[in-house]
Amino acid sequence: MEMPTTNRRAVETQLIEKCWKDPGFKKRVLSDPKGMLEQHTGQKLPAGLKIVVHEEDASTLHFTIPLPPTKMSELSDAQLENVAGGTGIGALFGSDPAW
What is the SS3 assignment for 46-86? CCCCCCCCCCCECCECCCCCCCCCCCHHHCCHHHHHHHCCC
> Which tens digits make up the pLDDT trace of 29-84?
999 999 988 888 888 999 999 999 988 899 998 888 888 777 666 667 776 666 55
Does the pLDDT value for residue 96 go beyond 50? no
* Helix axes of 23-31 and 33-41: crossing angle, nearest 10 degrees: 120
pLDDT over 80 at 19, yes or no: yes
The β-bridge partners of 60 are 57
At position 95, the amino acid (one-letter code) is S
According to the model, what pLDDT value does residue 74 have?
Answer: 65
Q: How many helices (H) and strands (E) does the chain have?
A: 4, 0
Provide the 3-class DSSP secondary structure of residue 96: coil
